[in-house]
Amino acid sequence: MNIQRLQVFWENINSFITYIAERNILNISLFSMDCLAIISLFALNQYFTSTNKNVSLSTDEININNALKWTAENWQDTLLNPYKVIANINVADDINLNVVFCLNKILQNCYSCFSSKGWASFIEISHILIKKDDDVNLFENGKINIIT
């Protein structure tokens, strides 16, 4: 994947995956979120190891508002935004669980790539998922509730 082109198509990916999750189309949603996780992993690794941390495109290719989302300070928040959007909408428990699995993949493989802004986004998404009133409540009174 050409990391410099990610800025061009990211909004389309974000909109498409959010649309599928909102419709609670389970199999397609799970597959699309797995694909999103793979793209996110690749982008985090490539961007982090790149010597040019502030990848930018000419304003002919993208608009100014989109360029501001991909600055060195904001790019991790932008990359994790689809997970935040899906966590905030009312979707099936399986889709919420897949968000957790995707974030787990990202955390296991790219924890060292996160800046303070990336960690803040990651924690915010986790907090949103924990606050949801799902049938399976893993946390009670700040402690993990082991369900057997």
pLDDT score at 75: 83
Amino acid, res. 51? T
Closest CA to 46 of 112, 2, 105, 108: 2
Residue 128 corresponds to which tokens in the numbers above? 């949103």
Report the phi/psi class of residue 115: left, alpha or beta, with left for phi > 0 and alpha for psi in -120 to 50.
Answer: beta
Kindly report, residue by residue over 73-131, the tens digit of the pLDDT: 778 888 899 999 999 988 888 888 889 999 999 999 888 888 888 899 999 998 898 88
Domain boundary assignment for the chain? 3-144
**53 contact partners, CB below 8 Å, separation of at least 6:** 47, 72
